[in-house]
Chain A
Amino acid sequence: MDPDCSTFFCQAWTARWSLLEGLMVTISSSIMTIVIGTVLGFVVGLILTYGMLPLRLLARLYVDVMRGIPVLVLILFTYYGLAILKIGVKPYWAGVIALSLFCVSHVAENVRGAVQSIPQGQHEAGMAIGMRFFQRLRWIILPQAVRRALPPWVNTALEIVKGTTLLSVIGVVELLLASQQAIARNYMILQFYMAATIVYIIINFSIAQAAAALERRYAYLRY
């Protein structure tokens, strides 16, 4: 190690680009996963609630299986599996796919829970003025359900941000692996892990704060 650069800050400055790149990978894989997981999870959640029986059972099976397998196993399975099937994707994408599979199942459960928590009377009131199923869903049920699904959705999002660290296991240089690479050069174990921890906490707190602000904005929705 360079004797002129023995402080953590000097070392962090030296490694700034790779750390920043790692942070960007963490952020981009989180956003990618959350977007994919939310869109597909929303659909699967509706199938789980209103789908025809065979479709609904299929969705239920998917969700229950995904929730019973550790995310790390999903990631390794996807990574090695895609490779053996000669489907050439970068580790980053294998990781995003695996995390999305997980995210979809959680969002789907959240959406189902939220939709089913809307009182039956809301459906009936919509029926009584002659609205058809998709109209009721679009104008009455979903606007309320989305707001109820927000708190558990935030939890899922936080899980995903934390879950991106698992991508390091298949060699994706996200924030954790970038920190470890820095540590490998300078052995400042505690400092760099601590720094990474703080970054994760900042990211997660920001998400939680943003969600709390949203919830306050829609506070009038509580009955």
Chain B
Amino acid sequence: MIAYNFNWAVIWRNWDAFLGALALGLGLAVVSLVIGTIIGLFLAYARLSPSPWISRPAWAYVEFIRNTPLLLLIFFVYFGLPEIGIYNLDKIQSFILTLSGYAAAYMCEVFRAGLASMPRAYGEAAKAIGLRPWQRQRHVVLPVMFRITLPAVSNNLISLFKDTSLAAAIAVPELTFTARQINANTYRVIECWLTASALYLVTAYAIAIALRQVEKRYAVVR
């Protein structure tokens, strides 16, 4: 057996740093999800457009994002934007931009499936009571679609939260970056990474449980 003496004092001393970093990661995930949802919704409508001039670019964007490693996208945006004359994004903004664009592609697929699975009768009923197209989307289709897709959205939020760990690669001080720094300063390797892992795990499942409650509350009875 390899001897390893645990020393958790290091963790307690840095507990606030861990929690702060965790909060930052969570914040990045939520902000990206919100932006990604809005863009993703437009992309989903674009993909369902009858005009290939609209649907094809949306398709290309989604496939491009989904087949490119996230880390590469992060570097691409972070190091690439200044190349095309955009200098004023700091690393957090740059990361949010990337993760939002990334989330948008995945949300687009979620919404596309959601819109496709919408019972046609809803739209027709809305038409029958005289709602105009925009009103039909706003008051009938979208509310139902959001409810149908809620489980997939929560899964995406959890994925995004885990993906915020990649922000460490451009030195955004979220949980992974912080754990790595404390690891480097203290050499308490196992404690550090166990703590980081546990925090990710607990938070991921806390999100899952919380959103399960929301899902129950808004479940569509079909």
Contact = CB atoms under 8 A, between A and B. Distances in A.
A81 interface: yes
B197 A165 contact: no
A165 B71 contact: yes
B143 interface: no
Given A81-B190, A189-B83, A169 B169 contact: yes
B15 interface: no
A17 interface: no
A161 B68 CA distance: 10
Contact of B72 (A70, A158, A196): A196
B122 interface: no
Contacts of B197: 69, 73-74, 77
B83 to A, nearest CB: 5
B71 A176 contact: yes
A85 B2 contact: yes
Contacts of A83: 189
A156 interface: no
Given A81-B190, A189-B80, A205-B67, A70 B2 contact: no
A204 to B, nearest CB: 4
B30 interface: no
A70 B4 CA distance: 25
A71 B176 CA distance: 11
Contacts of B168: 72, 169
Residue from A80, A85, A166 whose CB has the most chain B CB atoms within 10 Å:
A80
